[in-house]
Structure 1
Amino acid sequence: MTAVSRPTRAVFSASLIAGLLCTVAACGAEPARSTSAHSRTTWQEPASYTYTLHSSEGERTLIGAFRITVRDGAVVRTVGLDDSGRQVAKDIPDAVPTMGELLEELEQARRDDADAAEAQYAADGHPVRISLDWEKDAIDDEALYVISAYRPADSPGPS
């Protein structure tokens, strides 16, 4: 029998556990690919779809979780999924964007040379995460949009 020191065994065990945790955390997650600061997706926004948006960071008007319905390129229904989302949906429903408008905000941040303007996309090309920071040293000018449960109107289930 080969003798293995306790530190070696501990490192191996910790590596194994970390690998398993990473694998489990990835289960059920939408496959996403990251893009460089200036690459664009080839995804075409459909005229009608639904999606869930979790908007956070900074002192922005749009903070909260929302279930959004888009028809003919415009938001027609917004359901707030948390207290902040319900307040926004009630007081300023026009502040809730389509995914196309989120991508326009990303492109505008890139044109304005924001310090960070990054996105991740699902395999079909729709955005799943948009992170913006106009000035790295400024406080509360960041935005983070996490998109999930996207379903085109003609699709049978969420993707």
Structure 2
Amino acid sequence: MPDVRSRSRATTSAVVLLAALSWTATACADRQTPQAAPAPATTWQEPASYDYTLQSHEDVLWGTFKVSVRDRKVTRTVGLDADSRRALREAPGGRIPTIGDLLHRLDQARTDRADTARADYTPDGRPERITLDPDANAVDDEAEYVISAYAPRPAQP
């Protein structure tokens, strides 16, 4: 005849062990890992009028563009390579961002906790490279913008 006390102790021990493991798993699941706060918004102030060159590497906007901005709106864009000229033919005037638009995209990506939302800045605080990747596991959602040949222009009267 089997020993009832041994089986009873084994069952009790197993129940206690399962309860302890369950409590530990629940406690750990309730504890959220701290996440870094989004980086602060950029402090560079976009002037009303300027020219710059944008080298864009994103799924829908690829190429190098010479961009003129007046009153914080893109007023002229010239494609400097085959990719940019094709992009301008396919969607004339509709997709080329100002530097302010790019900074807004960066700030939004940080707010949305994108996997990558990074910028490199010149000594005066102006962005010169912005890299975005909302989801590192997704395909074709990465974007990189290189800003060069920046030249502020006097405000129009």
Same fold (TM over 0.5): yes
The structural deviation recorded for 1:37 is: 5.9
SS of residue matched to 2:101:
helix
Alignment partners' CA distance in 2, 1:89 and 1:37: 34
Aligned to 1:140: 140
Aligned to 1:47: 48
SS of residue matched to 1:130:
strand
Question: What is the aligned residue count?
Answer: 117
Alignment partners' CA distance in 2, 1:142 and 1:85: 18
- For residues 96-111 of structure 1, the aligned pairs below 5 Å read 96-111=96-111
TM-score where L is the length of structure 1: 0.70
Name structure 2 gaps, 5 residues minimum: 1-36
Cα RMSD of the aligned pairs, angstroms, is 1.5
Alignment partners' CA distance in 1, 2:50 and 2:88: 18
The amino acid across from 2:46 in the alignment is: E
The amino acid across from 2:100 in the alignment is: G
User: Stretches of 4+ moved more than 3 A in 1?
Assistant: none
| Amino-acid identity (%) | 53
- For residues 86-125 of structure 1, the aligned pairs below 5 Å read 86-92=85-91, 93-125=93-125
> Does the CA-based 8 Å contact 2:42-2:103 persist in structure 1?
no
The amino acid across from 2:153 in the alignment is: A
TM-score where L is the length of structure 2: 0.70
- For residues 5-154 of structure 1, the aligned pairs below 5 Å read 38-57=39-58, 60-92=59-91, 93-154=93-154
